[in-house]
Structure 1
Amino acid sequence: MTPLRGIVLAGGRSSRLGGRHKPAISIGGVPIVARAISALRAAGADPLVVGDPAGVPDGVAVVREDPPFAGPLAAVAAGVAALDPASGGVILLLGGDMPYVTPATLHALAQAAPAVAVDGDGRMQPLCAAWPEALLRERLARLGDPADRPLRILYDDVEPARVTIGAREAMDVDTPDLLRAALAEADAAGE
């Protein structure tokens, strides 16, 4: 069986949300980061969080990128560095502000790795992706210092499979309007 692990990125400044730590916000009574962890576990992945531990369930490892707030590429690198190498493994990357990603989507991404979720408009969601572990480690090593560099460079010269997801799954909680929409979505679903 292929080792499947997940890295949840939960270390941003949440500046568009007034500094309120997005992953710790409860949607349907559950912190967004805990929802992401639950989806990863249901997909068969062992989760690791990179960033602030607020809202992270007990028993889930948390590490921090160095320096803190050095961006998502630095967070991915810190997460990968914290994992013991697994031959033939797949690593799922998931934003800690995506409350509605499903285990089925994560499983589809893992099966197609390297793969990235795309929304209905065809926009890539690079923090909803799967990488063969060896490829991800090689790319990070080749990039050098990841601090304050854009995540998109991880995808240079790689053509990932595209897994289309619906608007609900693609939703991330970046602004007050998106938070209201996520809360309304939970209410409508009876969560």
Structure 2
Amino acid sequence: MDDLPPYTAVVLAGGRAARLGGQAKPQLEVGGRTMLAAVLDAVADAERRVVVGPPQPAPPNVVLVREQPPGGGPVAALRAGLAEVGTDVVAVLAGDLPFLTRSLIADLRTRLTGDGVLVVDDTGRDQLLLGVWRTTAVRSAVADVRGPTSLRKVFAPLAVRRLRPQVPPGNPPPWLDCDTPADLQRARAVAAARPSPGPPRFRAPRDRA
């Protein structure tokens, strides 16, 4: 992987999950660690890791920023994260992917052509927060967006390559997120049957506007 260009990881970790008791979803634990910790581990080789959202526990070398206005949605969050990116390549990820792996991030980086490459799940749906992009392309896409807008609409004009990861039988898919209590229960049951990496201990860093 040494021949690949360096990249920055921008992790969108804002909002509260109303269907999960209003808790900060990325801080919910699956398999003995928070979902945010799992995502940050998958991008441990990034030149910089940026978490966008409210103040929350994260490793000391992770940059924490807040979208403006707070709670302004994923496009505002992505714009805030991109302000901290100094590499030509950026991984844009959700903060609630407990089964994201380093190997998938490597596969995405290897397959980066055009403006970006993202994961397509087993139903054929684009996973917009599971991809690797040319930083300039994404910056241009969000530059003039005003007001609430979907990421799907923002990314629509970009030249995107799609990757369908092969998921071995019995393994959880890397795009599995946890939006409902049933999702969370399922993820925890799957994780309980696998070796646990152990819970990392993070301090809560200061918020950066």
Q: Do both proteins adopt the same fold according to a TM-score greater than 0.5, normalized to the shorter chain?
A: yes
What amino acid sits opposite 1:156 in the alignment? A
Q: Which consecutive residues of structure 2, in runs of 5 or more, have no partner in the other structure?
A: 197-209
Q: How far apart are the structure 1 equivalents of 2:70 and 2:105?
A: 27
Q: How far apart are the structure 2 equivalents of 1:148 and 1:100?
A: 29
| C-alpha distance 4-101 of structure 1, shift in aligned 2 (>3 A) | same
Map of 2:92 onto structure 1: 93
TM superposition score normalised by structure 1:
0.90
Instruction: Write out aligned runs for 1:1-191 (5 A).
Output: 2-42=5-45, 44-83=46-85, 85-86=86-87, 89-113=88-112, 114-141=116-143, 143-145=144-146, 147-165=147-165, 166=167, 167-191=172-196
Return the index of the structure with the highest Cα Rg: 2
Calculate percent identity across the aligned residue pairs.
34
Map of 2:204 onto structure 1: none
Alpha-carbon RMSD = 1.6
SS in 1 for 2:184: helix
Q: CA deviation at 1:45?
A: 4.7
Q: How far apart are the structure 1 equivalents of 2:28 and 2:54?
A: 12
Contact 1:100 1:171 in 2 (8 A): yes
Contact 1:34 1:55 in 2 (8 A): no
Q: How far apart are the structure 2 equivalents of 1:54 and 1:27?
A: 17
SS in 2 for 1:58: coil
Larger relative CO (CA 8 A, sep 6+): 1 or 2? 2
Q: How far apart are the structure 1 equivalents of 2:154 and 2:117?
A: 12
Q: How far apart are the structure 2 equivalents of 1:25 and 1:76?
A: 22
Q: CA deviation at 1:28?
A: 1.7
Contact 1:13 1:69 in 2 (8 A): no
More helix by share: 1
Q: How far apart are the structure 2 equivalents of 1:57 and 1:28?
A: 19
TM superposition score normalised by structure 2:
0.82
| C-alpha distance 37-100 of structure 1, shift in aligned 2 (>3 A) | same
| C-alpha distance 151-144 of structure 1, shift in aligned 2 (>3 A) | same
Q: Which consecutive residues of structure 1, in runs of 5 or more, have no partner in the other structure?
A: none
Q: How far apart are the structure 2 equivalents of 1:116 and 1:75?
A: 18
| C-alpha distance 5-16 of structure 1, shift in aligned 2 (>3 A) | same
Q: How far apart are the structure 2 equivalents of 1:45 and 1:110?
A: 13
Q: CA deviation at 1:61?
A: 0.8
Q: How far apart are the structure 1 equivalents of 2:18 and 2:68?
A: 19
Q: CA deviation at 1:18?
A: 2.4
Aligned residues: 185
SS in 2 for 1:170: coil
Q: CA deviation at 1:31?
A: 1.1
Runs of 4+ in 1 over 3 A off after TM superposition: none
Q: How far apart are the structure 2 equivalents of 1:55 and 1:31?
A: 10
